[in-house]
């Protein structure tokens, strides 16, 4: 019988690529999510019955245990960028990750992969970074042989980075950035999934791997690259820290005063803190080289999904070609 992997948060951005890779490798895949009916798109990743979304709440022991019964390996992809209701940073990124590891150890599961993030640091000013580090510690306490993957900003067709800012260009002449000089090392989502696949199939040593793509650029340079791909000109504004903090405070208060009915999906105070630091692979860290993976560059991927933000969408290239003919 083929092996089974349970992927917590397997319908999310990174999780779905891991699910696809594991299905192609011949594994059975359980995609453990809060809303299985919204994760039915993962079923065609494999043959009938090979990939199944199931109900799971990472804050509940019984739910998490039921999802991993009989599994040979588990992956935890669950994480949040902003708190909302019961989904606090501690509950999701520390307690949730630790719960998966503790129960996996109880069930005798051999392998675990934890998706963390570059910048995970218990001494950070950012609660996001603190809790990512806390989750790593909880995982290693119970599963010392786990593989922890720390990607930089992850890009790909469903990302919330380039898509978000490209979407802003449709209605705003300005792109406001927090710390435009911060350095990033964007990594392609399927390269992260490839690293997870190697770990799950026993082809990667236990330990922490920091994953960054071949290009290191500032926040401003990434936005300039994005604008070049979509063929738009916009003013890139570097927000002063006081303005960023004030803006984030306003959005946070709006969420608090509406008791979460209006969620702050724009900018939080914790995100402002997190953006004060570079997001690149440390010089002494294990990375793609240790895994034998050659990461994909942004230049070969971004045009494949950002074309829809061009002024004429898919017809932009045709219009340019027609204009060149008229000039000729």
**Structural tokens at position 271:** 């995100």
For residues 281 and 271, what is the distance between their CA atoms, to the nearest angstrom? 19
Mean pLDDT calculated for residue range 96-117: 98
- Which residue matches tokens 């902003």? 82
Does residue 313 surpass a pLDDT of 90? Answer: no
| Short-list 12, 65, 13, 10, CA closest to 32 | 10
Domain assignment of residue 195, yes or no? yes
For residues 158 and 173, what is the distance between their CA atoms, to the nearest angstrom? 24
For residues 311 and 296, what is the distance between their CA atoms, to the nearest angstrom? 27
> Tens digit of pLDDT for each residue in 266-277?
899 999 999 999
Does residue 256 surpass a pLDDT of 60? Answer: yes
Is this model's pTM higher than 0.75 or not? yes
Domain assignment of residue 113, yes or no? yes
Mean pLDDT calculated for residue range 244-265: 90
Domain assignment of residue 260, yes or no? no
Domain assignment of residue 232, yes or no? no
Domain assignment of residue 236, yes or no? no
Local confidence band at 120 (pLDDT 50, 70, 90 cut-offs): very high
User: Which domain CATH number covers 140?
Assistant: 3.40.50.720
**Are 319 and 255 within 8 A, CB to CB?**
no
**Are 149 and 113 within 8 A, CB to CB?**
yes
- Predicted local confidence at residue 321, as pLDDT: 53
**Structural tokens at position 214:** 């071949």
Q: What is the 3-state secondary structure (H, E, C) of 153-187?
A: CEECCCCCCHHHHHHHCCCCCEEEEECCCCEECCE
Q: Percentage of residues in the chain with pLDDT exceeding 70?
A: 95
> Tens digit of pLDDT for each residue in 198-217?
999 999 999 999 999 999 99
Asked which of 24-38, 80-94, 186-200, 257-271 is least confident by mean pLDDT, the reply is 257-271
Domain assignment of residue 321, yes or no? no
- Predicted local confidence at residue 133, as pLDDT: 98
Q: Percentage of residues in the chain with pLDDT exceeding 90?
A: 89
| Burial status of residue 161 (CB atoms within 10 A of its CB: 0-12, 13-18, 19 or more) | middle
Structural domain including 105 reads: 4-158+185-215+279-296
For residues 198 and 204, what is the distance between their CA atoms, to the nearest angstrom? 6
Mean pLDDT calculated for residue range 291-310: 96
Domain count, the chain: 1
Domain assignment of residue 211, yes or no? yes
> Tens digit of pLDDT for each residue in 149-195?
999 999 999 999 999 999 999 999 999 999 999 999 999 999 999 99
- Predicted local confidence at residue 84, as pLDDT: 85
- Which residue matches tokens 């979509």? 230
Local confidence band at 259 (pLDDT 50, 70, 90 cut-offs): confident
For residues 77 and 23, what is the distance between their CA atoms, to the nearest angstrom? 17
For residues 180 and 236, what is the distance between their CA atoms, to the nearest angstrom? 9
Local confidence band at 264 (pLDDT 50, 70, 90 cut-offs): confident
Instruction: Name the average pLDDT for the chain.
Output: 94
> Tens digit of pLDDT for each residue in 48-59?
999 999 999 999
Domain assignment of residue 320, yes or no? no
């Amino acid at each position: 019988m083929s092996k089974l992997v349970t992927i917590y948060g397997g319908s999310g951005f990174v999780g779905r690529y891991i699910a696809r890779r594991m299905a192609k490798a011949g594994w059975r895949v359980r995609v453990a999510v809060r809303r299985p009916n919204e994760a039915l798109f993962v079923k065609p990743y494999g043959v009938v019955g090979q990939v199944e979304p199931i109900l799971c709440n990472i804050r509940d022991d019984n739910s998490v245990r039921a999802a991993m019964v009989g599994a040979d390996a588990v992956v935890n992809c669950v994480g949040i960028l902003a708190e909302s209701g019961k989904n606090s940073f501690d509950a999701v990124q520390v307690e949730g990750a630790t719960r998966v590891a503790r129960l996996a150890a109880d069930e005798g599961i051999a392998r675990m992969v934890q998706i963390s993030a570059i910048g995970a640091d218990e001494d950070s000013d950012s609660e996001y970074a603190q809790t990512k580090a806390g989750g790593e510690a909880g995982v290693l306490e119970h599963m010392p042989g786990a593989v922890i993957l720390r990607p930089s900003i992850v890009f790909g067709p469903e990302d919330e980075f380039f898509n978000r800012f490209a979407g802003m260009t449709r209605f705003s002449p300005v792109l406001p950035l927090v710390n435009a000089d911060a350095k990033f090392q964007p990594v392609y989502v399927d390269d992260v999934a490839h690293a997870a696949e190697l770990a799950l199939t026993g082809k990667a040593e236990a330990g922490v791997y920091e994953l960054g793509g071949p290009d290191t650029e500032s926040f401003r340079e990434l936005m300039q690259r994005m604008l070049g791909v979509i063929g738009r000109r916009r003013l890139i504004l570097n927000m002063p820290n006081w303005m960023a903090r004030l803006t984030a405070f306003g959005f946070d208060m709006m969420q608090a005063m509406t008791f979460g009915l209006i969620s702050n999906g724009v900018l939080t105070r914790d995100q402002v803190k997190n953006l004060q630091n570079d997001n690149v692979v440390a010089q002494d860290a294990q990375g793609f080289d240790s895994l034998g993976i050659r990461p994909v560059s942004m230049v070969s991927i971004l045009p494949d999904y950002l074309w829809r933000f061009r002024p004429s969408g898919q017809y932009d290239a045709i219009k340019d070609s027609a204009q060149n003919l008229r000039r000729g």
